[in-house]
Amino acid sequence: MESKAKVSNKTVRCIAVQAGAAKAFKPGNRVAARPVWDKDRCVRCGVCYIYCPHGAVVRQEDGFFDANTDRCSGCGVCHRECWFGVIGMVQEA
């Protein structure tokens, strides 16, 4: 029986999908974009925390999450992985 599964060719513009690229990031580097959380929509599941390749997502005392800007590479993985589209990427000036 022939498989009906489809393969997506969607390209994600993210430093982390390029092999080895995430390792090139040095904490403190200037980045193109920063993640911004919309706490009103966040369910505090922690998926963004788990997936961040730089350990830059930090859990705050109220249970919500934010980025440590000294460690964040602007890769957008947190933005991509959030179930509910809570995290936007804002261009740095």
Q: Contact 86/37 with Cβ under 8 angstroms?
A: yes
Would you count residue 70 as binding ligand SF4 (CB under 6 A)? no
Output 11 or 34, the one with its CB closest to ligand SF4: 34
Would you count residue 84 as binding ligand SF4 (CB under 6 A)? yes
Q: Contact 40/64 with Cβ under 8 angstroms?
A: no
**Tokens representing 86?**
């809570």
Q: Contact 58/65 with Cβ under 8 angstroms?
A: yes
Would you count residue 66 as binding ligand SF4 (CB under 6 A)? no
Would you count residue 75 as binding ligand SF4 (CB under 6 A)? yes
Closest CA to 86 of 34, 40, 33, 31: 40
User: Which 32-61 positions form the footprint of ligand SF4 (CB under 6 A)?
Assistant: 35, 37, 42-48, 52, 54, 56-57
Least distance from ligand SF4 to the Cβ atom of residue 10, Å: 18
